[in-house]
Amino acid sequence: MSVGSSVTRRDLLLAGAAGSFVLASSTYRGRAADPPPNIIFVMADDLGYADLSCYGRRDYSTPNVDRIAADGLRFLQAYANSAVCSATRTALITGRYQYRLPIGLEEPLTSASTRKVGLPPEHPTLPSLLRKAGYGTTLIGKWHLGRLPEFGPLQSGYDHFYGFRGGALDYYTHKFGPAPSNTDDLWDGDVKIQQNGYLTDLLGERAVAIVNDYAKSKQPFLLSLHFNAPHWPWEAPGDEAEAQRIKSLFHFDGGSQETYARMVMQLDLQVGRVLQALDTTGLADNTIVVFTSDNGGERFADTWPFTGRKTELLEGGLRIPAIVRWPGHVRPGTTNNQVMISMDWMPTFLAAAGALPDPSYPLDGVDLLPTLTQNAAAFPRKLYWRYKNNEQEALRDGDWKYLKIRGNTFLFNVADDPLERANFKARRKDIYDRLVADYAAWNATMLPFDPKSSTDGFKANQLADHFGVEAAGGGPAD
């Protein structure tokens, strides 16, 4: 299948239904003598499933992310661990269901919260375990897992941090409140800083510098590059006046498809700068590059062929792009229909690095190296979600999905019906009853809902297509 901008939406959907791309050799493997690979994990914020041209976006192109796809593998059934960011980031960094930790119950952790909740420094993380294996570790961009002094990237395994700690930041003022407010949140390590520039560009510039530094040191490294784009506020390059105008970052009186396109294209440009740095330093051949998103798309995103969006357990709120490049190990220009989820990255990266998980904290994610490097056959997954707002529950088991929203329950075959329209609840009561029982058994092993935790969703007075919906929160989630 083509991975360029000429790919059609029909091609993408047919590829998903057809199953895994058959590689030229079922025994294709990397070279056993290779040194531990570097890892660059690029995560966009609120990027929809179809917001990249290699996933079908039609009104703009993303040539640099498309290059990763052309040189590597695209997952066609990748899921986020949650429909909002704090929860997904908890699962990503721990390799476990977020519902095992209080921070994972925040949907999301809000800037207004005064609660002392965050990622416990004693909990093993992807960066802490890779650091034990000799890796340098750096986070650039969004943290969103708790505030100082108790919580932070440097307290949870990263050697270096440059970015912001909350859920959102203005692209120009670098504040989480209005321009005149005292809400600056740009940090270098544990020191708050002032720096001019468009935030997407600043994050890309620092990432290039970090790649160059690691190239000189010859130390294997993990670079977590967590962009804020294309998360609100809706500000593209050249929109400094908008940063001064808005009174709230999640403004409902701004943004457009054109602004959103420019935000995504600037993100793509910075990804290209990082790829160029890998080429220039000679690190590209021994570096795993991943590009993905933290949850489904927001109000200007394209989530085709799914319905739903961020804060919703419909497919559009959970399905995300996920692309992997690893020269000599992952076949270029391929797609794969394996069902996967954000928490799978931790065991996969540990396996690639020859590092071990902490047996005291068993992982819920699975190692996907055989899928990536050996064309292993797709294996069935059971994946579970819950979301406090609107009392949402979901379970995917094979092609079937159980979904509950506000007491209404559904059974969908999401392989045949990605729009989630045909409810098989009564027609296949045997499957429905089994999935409901499975969900209840799984949920009993997780932390219960915290009545004080944050949750949010869109309301009828915010988005016209949500008429009749009254959400628990007062605005879109961070």
| b/e code 179-216 from CB counts within 10 Å (16+ = b) | eeeebbbbbeeeeeeeeeebbbbbbbebbbebbeebbe
For the chain, the average pLDDT equals 92
Contact 304, 50 (CB under 8 A): yes
> Domain end: 348, 381, 414, which one?
381
Q: What pLDDT shows up at residue 16?
A: 42
Which of the residue ranges 29-33, 254-258, 395-399 would you say has the lowest mean pLDDT? 29-33
Question: What integer pLDDT is reported at residue 476 of this predicted model?
Answer: 56
In this structure, are 137 and 150 located in the same domain?
yes
| Position with higher pLDDT, 201 vs 10 | 201
Asked whether residue 390 is domain-assigned, the answer is yes
Same domain, 84 and 224: yes
Residue 188 lies in a domain: yes
In this predicted structure, what is the pLDDT of residue 475? 52
Question: What confidence score (pLDDT) does residue 412 get?
Answer: 98
Is residue 26 over pLDDT 70?
no
Q: Are residues 115 and 224 in the same domain?
A: yes
pLDDT in tens, 449-463: 999 999 989 887 888
Specify whether 330 is located in the same domain as 410: no
Last residue of a domain, one of 353, 381, 409: 381
Residue 475 domain flag: no
Share of the chain above pLDDT 70, in %: 91
pLDDT range class, residue 138, cuts 50, 70, 90 = very high
Give the pLDDT band (50/70/90) at residue 2: very low
Helix (H, G, I), strand (E, B) or coil at 318: helix
* Percentage of the chain exceeding pLDDT 90: 86
Q: Catalytic one among 54, 123, 144, 160?
A: 144
299-307 average pLDDT score: 97
pLDDT class of 134 with cuts at 50, 70, 90? very high
Q: Annotated catalytic residue: which of 85, 123, 174, 329?
A: 85
pLDDT digits (tens, 9 = 90+) for 320-338: 999 999 999 999 999 999 9
The yes-or-no answer on residue 466 being catalytic is no
* Cα 160 to Cα 83, 163, 281, 353, 416, distances in angstroms: 28, 10, 20, 20, 45
Q: Same structural domain for residues 199 and 97?
A: yes
264 and 402 share one domain: no
> DSSP states of 267-294 as a string?
HHHHHHHHHHHHHHHT-GGGEEEEEEES
Q: What is the Cα–Cα distance from 1 to 9, expressed in whole angstroms?
A: 12
Q: Is 251 a catalytic residue?
A: no
Residue 49 lies inside a defined structural domain of this protein: yes
Cis peptide before 357, with omega less than 30 degrees from 0? Answer: no
For residue 268, being part of any structural domain is answered with: yes
CATH assignment of the domain containing 24: 3.40.720.10
Q: Is the pLDDT of residue 183 over 90?
A: yes
State the average pLDDT over residues 156-167: 98
Q: Is residue 339 part of a domain?
A: yes
Do 218 and 300 lie in one domain? The reply is yes
Sign of CA dihedral 80, 85, 91, 92: positive
Residue 368: inside a domain: yes
Same domain, 44 and 165: yes
Shared domain for 162 and 308, answered yes or no, is yes
Average pLDDT for 385-405: 98
Per the CB < 8 A criterion, the answer to whether 282 and 32 are in contact is: no
Tell me, what's the pLDDT at 127? Answer: 98
Same domain assignment for residues 235 and 249: yes
Angle at 151 between CA 354 and CA 475, to 5 degrees: 110
Number of structural domains in the chain: 2
Please report how the helices 257-281 and 63-70 are oriented relative to each other, as an axis angle in degrees rounded to 10: 50
For position 477, what pLDDT does the model report?
62
- Tell whether 295 and 396 lie within a shared domain: no
CATH number, domain containing residue 431: 3.30.1120.10
Looking at the fold, whether 310 and 441 belong to one and the same domain comes out as no
**Mean pLDDT within 139-159:** 97
Average pLDDT over residues 151-155: 98
Cα–Cα distance list, 343 to 14, 70, 217, 314 (Å): 27, 24, 30, 19
**Domain-ending residue, one of 331, 366, 381:** 381
* For residue 8, pLDDT beyond 60: no
User: Which has more confidence, 15 or 46?
Assistant: 46
The pTM for the full model equals 0.92
Question: What pLDDT digit, counting tens, does each position of 55-103 carry?
Answer: 999 999 999 999 999 999 999 999 999 999 999 999 999 999 999 999 9
Confidence of residue 29 (pLDDT cuts 50, 70, 90): very low
Task: State residue 388's pLDDT score.
Answer: 97
Q: What is the reported pLDDT for 33? A: 62
Do 97 and 104 contact (CB within 8 A), yes or no?
A: yes
Instruction: Determine the pLDDT at residue 27.
Output: 32
- Domain hosting 54: range is 9-381
Q: Which of 298, 297, 315 is nearest to 306 (CA)?
A: 315
Does residue 125 belong to any structural domain of this protein?
yes
